[in-house]
Structures are given as structure tokens and as C-alpha cells.
Structure 1
Amino acid sequence: MEGLSAMKKMKVKIEGLDVCIYEWGSQRNPTVLLLHGLTNNALGFNEIADSLQDHFHLFAIDLPGHGETQTFNEEKNFSFQFLTEWLEKVRFEISDQPVYLIGHSWGAALALHFSSRFSEMVNGVVMIDGGYLHFEDDPSVTLGELLKQMSKWVTESYYSSIEEYEKKKKEEIGRWSHELEQMVHRDMKEVVGGVAMKVSENTVRAIVKSLYLESCRDIFHQIHAPIFLIRATLPEDGEKIRRQAATRMQKELGTQCKVSAIPETGHVLHWQRPEETIKKIKQWLEEKGNEKIYTQASE
């Protein structure tokens, strides 16, 4: 896909870091920033961007420590306060207009935090199964235990070959494509005797710590942009908590917040059901765009 003219790859320097960004579409169209989840990379949005590029100008960003973007030297830089300022500098490099944000998991939380601080630069936020569930919903999980689990997860994410890792991801997602294969290869790095997760243990711990300490729930009252949450429905034993969390978010955000659940999907619903996810996103973005045009014409 990287060789196709439909997708361009660029590097920009922000705060001394080289940031890798993929671009689709024409600058004549509304700008959309795509923010991936923890341990993933910009090409996690390859299928979505490819389908939306005729109507939107899209930028998928390798977030710090992921893909080909360097990580931060200090843990505190992964706090949402610092990360949102960093993202605003990235946005300024690629667009002088307000943008739409689409985020998955950690990327959805980052999009919400960004919207709370830079509301004048945000036209709307699409959250793909992220930003609405909170660690305080399960008080039995302490930060220390969580960080221990994360360290174990990273150090054990080792596979004898990229094919072995591909097999695991195919089982997790339930489908496969050339775009998913590209994404999966960018998640991993070659090590002696196999492949391992590209993202470092320190980066994962720093991000999870910020998610734990800086709950999105605490900033709901500062969100003024339209919000669209597309959420998972599996595993079934978590559905009650998901439904309650989504309802609570809607109550706090009001009529500007829409929620849609995709049946039989897990946390990576945009890979499991891309066509359905894309259809929902496109429809919502076009509705918001039309509302904006109508409002401007009425003023």
C-alpha cells in the first residue's frame, strides 16, 4: 500500500522528535486526524482512511514510541497534559483549520483530552471503543498491580516468527487483509530468534499510568465538541459495565453525544467489522459537516 499514490508518508519534527504521519485525500476536504491505540501504529487506520479519502483529508499519526515515531525520554511527557500540547503542535504542522478526530482505545482518550483543552480546533470526535471505560469502575485494580501486568504483557509478547504473530492476530480479529498484514508488521521488531513488540515496556507503563491517573470522566464537563462513540459488545460478561459507562457519558455530555454498538465485536471492532464501522463514521462526519454549513449560513 505504501507504494500507492493514494497514501503518502511524511516525517515532521516536533519537540525534537521525528514524527511519522500517513496522509490520504485532498486538502480541499475537511481534515481528520487518526489516533491509534496502545502498541499499535498509524496503519491501524489504513482501511478506514482508504474508504474515506474521497470525502476527507486524513492524517494517521504514529504516536510517540509507536511505529516510526521516537518515544519521549521522560515518563511525565506521556501525561495527557503534555501529550495534548504535543498533538496540537502536530496539528498546527498539518492543518491551519479545526479538525475532526478519530481515535481507537488510548487514541480515543487522547482525542477527548485534546478536545477539552483545544475545543476551538475540534469539529468533532469519533471514539472507537475507548475513552468511556475507566479504571475506577473496578476499584480492586491498583496502579501497582496494573503496571506489573503491563510489564509482564510486554516482556512476554515474543514470537518465534512474524508468521506466528500473524496467526495470533488473525484469530483475534477473525478476518485478514493486506492492510492488516502491513499494520501487524509495523507493530513488531526483529530480535534474536524471532520478533517482539516494538513499543518499549517503559512507554507502555507510562501510557497506562496516565490513563489510570487522568480519567476521561473527569473532563467530560469540559467537552464542547460533538462526540460519537462506537463501542464493542464482546466479551458478553462486560456488556453491563459498557452499557452503564456509555449511558453515563451520554448523560454528562448531553445531546451532542451519540453512541452506537456493533454486535458481535470486541475491542478491535474497526478491524473486525470495517465496512459497518466506516459506514457509521462517514454518515456521522457528513451529518456534522452539514450541520456546520447550516449554522454558518444562518449566522
Structure 2
Amino acid sequence: MLTETKYALADGELAAVEIGDAKSADTTIVFLHGWLDNAASFFTIMEAFHQLAPQYHLCAIDLPGHGLSTNKAGSNFYLFHDYVDDIYQLMPHFSPNRRIMVGHSLGALISACYSAAFPEQVAGLVQIEGYAPLFEDPDACVARMREGVISRHQYRSVPARGYDSVKTAIRHRSQVNKIPPALIAPVIERGMRQVGDLWYWRCDAKLKCDALYRMSPAHAKQIMKQVTCVDRVILGEEGYPYLHQQCTELTEKKPEVFTIAGGHHCHLEQPQQVAELILGLVNKINEGLE
């Protein structure tokens, strides 16, 4: 059911996993995963959604530096806004009829920025455990720049960590993310490679470096103000509590907010419910077009 594909970018390739026909479907749903995850984060949701509505095209990508996608070239440190450019290069490969964006965590922030910048390309937006792009008070900008540069120096001097088995890596991420090993296992298995007797993360180690810059609250508020498509936010009961406040304070156009059982990776814990919520948004869009 799930098909592996590749899409060329100006600098490298995006790996993707898809269901359906990218060119003929009247609706494409693009899934963007969270930081240090990959397309496997959405496999169970895609399978559940396909059972509910097999006529739609579904595409989950590995963001650059993640999963099976290529790393950014040279000394590129994955500036947040560059992801928006990556998605802009991806979109022409899909039918222009109707596109829905679904993002988890980092993917939710990218999806929001893309929806604001290119509203003509996005008919609907579903954000899972993420809302506005990361922001902070301008007074923190010098400390942010200092710590970001230091983190790059540390990256250059610390060797990569290897695991004796994929099972050990799954157990480690399970503890960090507070999620059962079986649920996070597909993400880990897609995100590892073997070198000699050890297993290493495929993701580019530069992804762990701190950002040198974050936008101000005013910038983030302006971006969210310009998200004009139909949107839903899905939050975990044990997820990031500050997201509830952001959904009510950052924009006058309040999104529909749904709280489901689980933590920050609630979509892995409740894939059927999340698939139904995504389909509900698609149906709402379709009803508005009738």
C-alpha cells in the first residue's frame, strides 16, 4: 500500500512514502513530521485514513537531513525558513486541485508558515502538537546567537554515538519521548543505518545545533494571522501545555482545537482518531465547495 518515492530539490532529494496518484487525485494530503522523526511517523495514520477514504493521495516526506532524504550540503545548519523553500519545490509535483497540509511538531510550524505565505496552495491545515513558529523576546537575541554558535562548535568536536542494536536505540527513544517502544519503532528503524558493528542515526547531526535566531512574538503573531485556510489543531492531553494558550492568544481567528489521549506523539498513540479528524477537515472543505 505504501510506496517509496523520491523528489528532486535544487540541493538533493526528498524521500517520500505515498498512497494514491499524485497527479490525478482531486486532493493531496502532505504530511510533515517532527524534529528528528521521519515519514514513518505517519504510516499508521495514512493506512487508517486510506481505509476511510481511498480516493485521496497521501504523501509523507522525510524533511531534508532526516530519514532517507539527503542532507543539506556543506555547512548548512537547517535554518527553519529553508524548510518552507523545500516544500515550495515539492508542491508542483502534486495535482493543483486541492492540497491539505498535516504537520506534527516542527512539521506543524512549517505547515503554518507555508499556509500563511502561499494561501493559494493550501486548502486546509491540521497541526498536531504544534502551532506558531518558535519565537522569543528580542532581548534574548544576543544570548541566542552566542549559544547557537557554541552549539555548532560542540557539534564539530563530539563524535557520533553508535548503538549496539536498533532495539537499543528504540528503547532509548521510547524513554526520551515517553511512548511505548512498539509505537516509535517504525520511526527509529527508518532513521538508522549500520556502520560496521554499530547502528547510527541517519539524520544529520547538525540538526541538533541550536538556532542562531528566533523571530519575535510580533512576527509569529503576524504569520498566524495570515493563515486563512480551514484549520484544526490536535493536542495531546499530556503534550506541551503552552500550545493551548498559543491557540487562543496568537490570532483572532481561533482554530478548532481537539484534545486527545496521549503525549507529544499523540498521533502515534491514537492514529485512528487522528485520521478521522483529518478526514473531518477534508469533508468540511468539500462541503464548502458544494
Q: TM-score, normalised by structure 2?
A: 0.81
Give the alignment partner of residue 266 of structure 1, picking from 233, 244, 263: 263
Could you tell which deviates more after superposition, 50-59 or 120-129? 50-59
Runs (5+) with no aligned partner, structure 2: none
Distance 1:132 1:16, change over 3 A: closer
Correspondence for 1:21 among 16, 24, 29: 16
1:216 Cα deviation from its structure 2 partner? 3.9
Paired AA for residue 49 in structure 1: M
Identity of aligned residues (%): 21
Report the Cα distance in structure 1 between the residues aligned to 2:213 and 2:104, rounded to whole angstroms: 14
Structure 2: distance between partners of 1:50 and 1:76: 34
Aligned residues: 276
In the aligned structure 2, how far is the partner of 1:258 from the partner of 1:198?
36
Q: Residue 63 of structure 1 aligns with which residue? A: 63
SS of the aligned residue for 2:211 comes to helix
Deviation, structure 1 residue 75: 5.9
Counterpart CA distance in 1 for 2:101 and 2:228 is 14
Alignment of 1:162-241 (within 5 A): 162-171=166-175, 172-174=178-180, 176=182, 180-191=184-195, 193-205=197-209, 209=211, 212-213=214-215, 216-234=220-238, 239=241, 241=242
1:78–1:210 Cα contact (<8 Å) kept: no
Return the alpha-carbon distance in structure 1 between the equivalents of residues 103 and 225 of structure 2: 19
CA contact (8 A) 1:112 1:216 kept: no
Whichever residue aligns with residue 262 of structure 1, its letter is: I
Write out per-residue CA displacement over residues 233-266 of structure 1, whole angstroms, 9 at most, x where no aligned residue.
326xx63x332222113xx1515x2111113x21
Residues 13 and 93 (structure 1), Cα distance of their counterparts in 2 relative to 1, 3 Å cut: same
Q: Is the 8 A contact 1:175 1:272 kept in 2?
A: no
Give yes or no for contact 2:102–2:108 (8 Å, CA) kept in 1.
Answer: yes
Measured in 2, the distance between the counterparts of 1:44 and 1:59 equals 12
Question: Does structure 2 retain, via aligned residues, the 8 Å contact 1:39–1:197?
Answer: no
**Equivalent pair of 1:173/1:268 in contact (CA under 8 Å):** yes
Which one scores higher on RCO, CA 8 angstroms, separation ≥ 6? 2
Paired with 1:130 and 1:211, the residues of 2 have a C-alpha distance of: 19
Contact 1:39 1:198 in 2 (8 A): no
SS at match of 2:42: helix
Cα distance, 1:198–1:232 mapped onto 2, change above 3 Å: same
Q: Give the conservation status (yes or no) of the 8 Å contact 1:32–1:101.
A: yes
Equivalent AA in structure 1 for residue 12 of structure 2: L
Whose helix fraction is larger, Structure 1's or Structure 2's?
A: 1
Q: CA deviation at 1:87?
A: 1.0
Unaligned runs of 5+ in 1: 1-5, 295-299
Equivalent of 1:11 in 6, 9, 14: 6
- CA distance in 1: counterparts of 2:104 and 2:92, whole angstroms: 22
Distance 2:207 2:129 in 1: 21
Structure 2 match to 1:119: 119
| Distance across 2 between alignment mates of 1:109 and 1:199 | 19
C-alpha change, 1:211 and 1:234, in structure 2 (3 Å) is farther
In 2: Cα distance, 1:148 partner to 1:160 partner: 30
2:281 corresponds to which of 275, 281, 284: 284
Q: CA deviation at 1:57?
A: 0.8
Q: Which residue of 2 aligns with 1:246?
A: 247
Q: Distance in 2 between matches of 1:193 and 1:212?
A: 40
User: RMSD of aligned C-alpha atoms?
Assistant: 3.1
Instruction: Please say if 1:50 is aligned against 2:47.
Output: yes
